[in-house]
């Protein structure tokens, strides 16, 4: 890019009045200025929509889209449909950016000629994140295959939408599935299929807020979407990309473990059919995953525990299982 590239920053907003100002301030105060900021008020019922409009009056780079509530995917898609940027960055509206977030990711993208650049994040709950001192960054470079394997084996890369910079053309013909949890996992396969080079930079550029009322803190049968996505990916790799079948099955096994143990913690509903589905999936996949040297140790411990029986796995191993584990 010979000219200064335009970054489209996409911010879906829904009932985050307590956090929105902090998020928006961290975006408009970025050291890199050439941005359009697309803020999508997804049918908020608190003062978030008004706050969005107030921010647009303060900074002419901000465009606000008001729409009926359709969920995170619908909000991101609305912004993707109207963006003009050369590059895209997703920001959740309760999170915050390091002041050099955009500049850091852009610098790496241009120097490395990357298609996607991923930074590190730091979790926080209240106040500002305690940004660590920034040392000379370490780069990890991936092609399509190595990036796909790293994400599916859950080693070194995640499928999160935020904390990264994308070339805008990656989203040509790709949109987030509306009404689905784990929407970022659902599109990571087609996105990576279009990536020539992914770079992970070992520098904290994103503050991820941990909230008690987050989607990931409570169990809902909708969380089984991760299984649906994983099973679809397994079938797609079997048909079209056999080099990724073992990795896809490793990720699917992780999803079965996750949903089985979390549903077991819900004392209000038995979720029998869902638990049975997960258990059958674990039994189907566990032996070959135990022999796969790329499967992470955590999953192998789960596999060994599963051979002691479903009750042992759920009631002993899963007693203190974390939703974010």
269 within some domain: yes
Same domain, 35 and 139: yes
- From the CB of residue 59, how many other CB atoms can be counted at a distance below 10 Å? 13
Q: For 159-178, how does the pLDDT look when each residue is reduced to its tens digit (9 = 90+)? A: 999 999 999 999 999 999 99
325 within some domain: no
Same domain, 51 and 165: yes
Same domain, 259 and 189: no
2 within some domain: no
- From the CB of residue 111, how many other CB atoms can be counted at a distance below 10 Å? 11
Show which of 209, 242, 267 is a domain's final residue: 209
| Domain enclosing residue 297, as ranges | 219-320
Cβ neighbours for 24, distance < 8 A, ≥ 6 positions apart: 11, 39, 51, 55, 62
Task: Using CB atoms within 10 Å of the CB of residue 269, give its burial: 0 to 12 exposed, 13 to 18 middle, 19+ buried.
Answer: exposed
Same domain, 163 and 276: no
Taking the chain (325 residues) in runs of 10, the rounded mean pLDDT of each run is 87 97 98 98 98 98 98 98 98 97 97 97 91 87 98 96 98 97 97 97 96 64 96 97 98 96 89 97 98 96 96 84 54
Q: pTM, whole model, 2 decimals?
A: 0.94
Q: Are 93 and 16 in contact (CB under 8 A)?
A: yes
Same domain, 186 and 245: no
């Amino acid at each position: 890019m010979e000219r200064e590239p335009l970054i489209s920053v996409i911010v879906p907003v829904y009932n985050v009045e307590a956090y929105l100002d902090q998020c928006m301030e961290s975006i408009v105060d970025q050291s890199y200025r050439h941005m359009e900021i697309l803020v999508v008020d997804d049918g908020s019922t608190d003062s978030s929509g008004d706050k969005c409009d107030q921010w647009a009056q303060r900074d002419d780079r901000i465009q606000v889209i008001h729409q009926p509530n359709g969920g995170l995917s619908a909000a991101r898609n609305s912004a993707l449909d109207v963006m003009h940027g050369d590059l895209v960055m997703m920001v959740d509206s309760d999170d915050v950016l390091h002041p050099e977030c955009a500049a850091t990711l852009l610098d790496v993208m241009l120097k490395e000629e990357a298609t996607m650049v991923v930074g590190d994040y730091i979790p926080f709950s209240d106040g500002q994140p305690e940004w660590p001192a920034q040392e000379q960054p370490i780069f990890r470079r991936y092609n399509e295959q190595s990036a796909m394997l790293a994400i599916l084996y859950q080693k070194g890369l995640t499928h999160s939408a935020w904390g990264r910079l994308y070339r805008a053309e990656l989203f040509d013909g790709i949109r987030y599935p509306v009404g689905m949890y784990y929407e970022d996992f659902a599109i990571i396969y087609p996105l990576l299929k279009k990536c020539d080079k992914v770079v992970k930079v070992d520098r904290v550029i994103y503050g991820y807020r941990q909230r008690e009322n987050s989607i990931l803190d409570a169990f809902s049968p909708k969380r089984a979407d991760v299984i649906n996505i994983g099973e679809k990916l397994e079938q797609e790799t079997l048909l079209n990309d056999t080099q990724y079948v073992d990795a896809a099955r490793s990720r699917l096994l992780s999803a079965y473990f996750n949903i089985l143990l979390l549903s077991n913690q819900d004392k209000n509903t038995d979720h029998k059919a869902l638990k049975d589905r997960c258990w059958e999936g674990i039994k189907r996949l566990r032996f070959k995953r135990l022999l796969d040297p790329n499967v992470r140790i955590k999953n192998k411990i789960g596999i060994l525990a599963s051979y002691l029986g479903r009750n042992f796995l759920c009631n002993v191993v899963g007693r203190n299982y974390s939703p974010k584990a």
